Amino acid sequence: MGNEQRPSLPSPAARRDRPADHGTGAVGTARRWLLDRAGALWTLLTGRPVSLYAASVLRIGYGFLYLVFLLREFPHRDEIWGPGSPWTPALAEQLFRQTGWNSILTLSDSRAYFELCYVLALVTSALFMLGWRTRAMSALFAVVVASFHARSIFMTDGGDNLVLLMALYLVLTACGRRWSLDARRARLRAAREGETPQPVSSVLPEQFHRARTTLVTVMHNCGLFVIAAQVCFLYGSAGLYKVQGPTWGGGTALHYALNLELFQPWPAFSHLVDDYTILIAIAGYMTVLLQVAFPFVLFGRLKYPVLALLLSMHIGIAVLLGLPLFSGAMIIADAVFLPDRFYAFLPQLWRRAARRAGMRRRAAGPGPGSGSVPSQARPGASGSKYRTTRGAPEDTTVATGLASDQYRTHR
């Protein structure tokens, strides 16, 4: 026992040279991973505006949808939003004091003022759809949609709720960079200037330009993120709400919806569809499954068949239940999840299809002068000199041209 040697302690230098323990290494790895993720997110947020084509599709879609909606309700505009509405301007003012809403339509009870506001709403929707001065038109379009929505909040089918939200979100986005009059004007200006950079007189304007570009990029990306989050929240909450109901769990929810007189634009068609009970139950279960699973399939290729099924679902809602405004708003909102390469490929696909259709028409239709070109004969052959003989040249195009020239010479 007395001869046992005590273990010697390592020197401070050896302790400093010793590698960190496992726990410290794991914390460092996690810290580096978080920093890398934060850097990637910051680069994505400030690097460049994303989904410019999707934002343009939203602009065109909602501008066109609201324009069609206002034109559709043009004969009934006074009963819905005008001074002759059952929901009078006085009642609207009482509701505004309770809810905090406001509307430019209640600034005056004059019929001429209301007609002027309606015409301006039509013009604003059309210009917003075309992308003319998009920054200003997007704010004006949001004011128009909010004013008409607040003026008669109980008179529509609920689809304008989503249109209002998207109109507010689109104010933040650069939705006029693609497929717009602004984009066309920018291309023409760049062509005239020869795309040569203009000299900067001092450092301050250049820094201001960079700060403005970064701010616009951040606002655009945040706006698109909010739009995508809104759609995910809408689908997810709707699916979870349906799960709680016994009618959706029993597969009978669509049966009751098809038999409501308020949602029967074509009663005979609704009753015909309702006769297929098994298909109705399957459609109900698929609706719940798609809505609940939608937020979880956005980061893979599974989102494409899910979006196709949701498109068919919204078309069915528009046709069977008579809710075209709601279905159109949802279909347009789903377009935000399609990548830019999909929209960039559409013009190429359209030009390719048009080129093929033109080639088919030229191949199917009679060529120029084909009805008047007579048959040709071998030189020196007896009979008519326009008689067709064997041994025709292999180059039929050249032969046809020679025949046409010969025919015009003899005529």
Domain ranges of the chain: 52-185+209-342
- Report which residue type is found at 12: P
How high is the pLDDT of residue 196? 59
CA distance 230 to 211: 28
- Report which residue type is found at 121: A
- Which residues have a Cβ under 8 Å from the Cβ of 313 and sit 6 or more positions away? 283, 286, 287, 290
Place of tokens 């009663």: 267
CA distance 172 to 139: 9
Q: What is the pLDDT of residues 277-313, one digit of tens each?
A: 999 999 999 999 999 999 899 888 889 999 999 999 9
Per-residue CA distances from 198 to 26, 187, 190, 193 (Å):
51, 16, 12, 9
How high is the pLDDT of residue 195? 57
CA distance 268 to 265: 9
Contact (CB, 8 A) for 244 and 280: no
H or E element: which one contains 96?
helix 89-99
Contact (CB, 8 A) for 263 and 323: yes
Place of tokens 């690097």: 47
How high is the pLDDT of residue 113? 95
CA distance 125 to 135: 13
Stretches in the chain below the pLDDT threshold 70: 1-24, 195-204, 359-411
How high is the pLDDT of residue 372? 45
With H, G, I as helix, E, B as strand and everything else as coil, classify residue 174: coil
- Report which residue type is found at 142: A
- Report which residue type is found at 359: M
How high is the pLDDT of residue 392? 40
- Which residues have a Cβ under 8 Å from the Cβ of 82 and sit 6 or more positions away? 111, 114
CA distance 293 to 105: 41
How high is the pLDDT of residue 197? 55
Q: What is the pLDDT of residues 180-227, one digit of tens each?
A: 999 999 999 888 877 555 555 566 678 888 888 889 999 999 999 999
- Report which residue type is found at 5: Q
